[in-house]
Structure 1
Amino acid sequence: MALKYNDFTVATAADGNEALEQVSDFRPDLIVLDVMMPGLDGFQVAKRLAERSNDVPILFLTARDTTDDKIRGLTIGGDDYMTKPFSVEELIARIKVILRRSGRSREESPRLTYLDLELDDDTREVFRDGNPIELTDTEFRLLRYLMSNPRRVLSRAQILDHVWEYDFAGDARVLETYVSYLRR
């Protein structure tokens, strides 16, 4: 869930075979693998991905902390190896470094522009025709998500999940309310 809070799209797998299917279907920018998965373990998944010439970066995140396990994980194709317990902040930092080094980072520019709107993610400022607009945090996140997906049809569920950052069980009309705030 912490990855979703940091604007990562996440797909999960219950076992190694499902992980291989997810990689084929989802085409991720990075794979976080646990070594101790049922069925195929994380090492076997990484080995099969390497056999397929899959170049998606792999970060092992596991309770297996022996030096031999770390060397094995890095040797068979892992780009990094973290052991549990772990810091979420460190995990996110390592993911960002791997994505940046692999050229898969989405952090090209902190500024988004669409028509007459400009959004600066670093300063959390929004301008329309060069004039500043004051937005609440939720309005800012909603606008950023919409501007990050121009000309893309987004479902209500996608927007609620991304902007409100959890499985939203409240009144879905809250989305229409916030869209009306943005239109002002």
Structure 2
Amino acid sequence: MATVLFIEDEPALGMIVKDSLAYRGFNVLYAANGAEGLEQFRLHQPDIVVADIMMPDMDGFTMAEHIRRDDPHTPIMFLTARSQTADVVRGFELGGNDYLKKPFSLDELVARINALLRVGAARPHAGGTLKIGRYTFDPAKQKLSVDDREVTLSHREAELLRRLYQQRNEVLGRSEVLTELWGDDSFFNGRSLDVFITKLRRYLREDPKIQIINIRGRGYKLVL
């Protein structure tokens, strides 16, 4: 049974979602603000975090920053009524793995939680690094390094790069990766994927021989 840490400052919505997730078989921890959520995270180490952004005491972005300092792996999904591109990008840059706009259906929330949990279960747990041009990539630790520089990737960044590498010099289907990593291939999620591809290109720019090519209408190809 997967443990979900759900953080929401609206009590009515919080109880509805908490009870609905429990009914669907999840073990649910509930917190009413970011500070309480961070405390619950450190005490119980849940399998996934689902958090509102605008909350008293500590907002969701600040809470995510604290979590990512200690834990680069546990999936974090943001819930918010805000949908500006800048907010979405900031959430992903802080280590968020998904972003669901309010109001949302409980079925979609559950589908996205399950998608993130499947990705986490499939992530390599043992050692084994990959050579990507001049770079060394450790999928399990989500570390990408070149020369004496190292960056810690978010959960979804690492999984996307791993899949691109596994299908290097071949097309990684856009619809496939959206369905498996984001839960569906909606327009909004497609924009999110484009942001992630741009970030990976930036991480890999030290080696000009590495390219992530957009194959129009099909997906992306990692060329080495």
Q: How does 1:162-173 map to 2 (within 5 A)?
A: none
Match of 1:60 in 2: 78
Residue equivalent to 2:94 = 76
Matched, 1:27 2:45: yes
Count of residues in Structure 1 that have an aligned counterpart in Structure 2? 105
Secondary structure of the 2:55 match is coil
Q: Are 1:99 and 2:150 matched, yes or no?
A: no
d(CA) in 1 for partners of 2:41, 2:72 = 9
Superposed CA offset, 1:48-95 (max 9, x none): 111123421101011121111111111111110001000111110000
Q: How far is 1:19 from its partner?
A: 0.6
State how far apart, in whole Å, the 1-side matches of 2:51 and 2:23 are.
19
CA 1:54–1:25: 2 relative to 1, 3 Å: farther
CA-to-partner distance for each residue in 1:131-180, whole Å, 9 max, x for gaps? Answer: xxxxxxxxxxxxxxxxxxxxxxxxxxxxxxxxxxxxxxxxxxxxxxxxxx
Is 1:18 equivalent to 2:36 in the alignment?
A: yes
Q: Structure 2 length normalisation: TM-score?
A: 0.45
CA distance in 1, matches of 2:82, 2:73: 24
**1:42 aligned partner, one-letter code:** G
The gaps in structure 1 that reach 5 residues or longer are 105-184
Distance 2:26 2:71 in 1: 24
The alignment partner of 1:101 has SS state of helix
Distance in 1 of aligned mates of 2:72 and 2:66:
9
Question: Which residue of the partner structure matches residue 61 of structure 2?
Answer: 43
Q: RMSD of the alignment, in Å?
A: 1.6
Gaps of 5+ in 2: 1-18, 123-224
Quote the Cα distance in structure 1 between the aligned partners of 2:93 and 2:68. Answer: 11
Query: Post-superposition shift, 1:25?
Result: 1.2
- Classify the secondary structure of the residue corresponding to 1:100: helix
The 5 Å alignment of 1:131-170 reads: none
* Cα distance in 2, alignment partners of residues 24 and 93 from structure 1: 25
Question: Matches of 1:64 and 1:46 in 2, distance apart?
Answer: 17
- Greater mean deviation of Cα atoms: 54-63 or 80-89: 54-63
Once residues 64 and 70 of structure 1 are traced to their aligned partners in structure 2, the CA distance between those partners, rounded to angstroms, is 9
More strand per residue = 2
2:117 is the counterpart of 1:89: no
Work out the CA distance in 2 between the residues paired with 1:2 and 1:70.
Answer: 26
Give runs of ≥4 in structure 1 deviating > 3 Å: none
Distance in 1 (CA, whole Å) between partners of 2:102 and 2:20 is 16
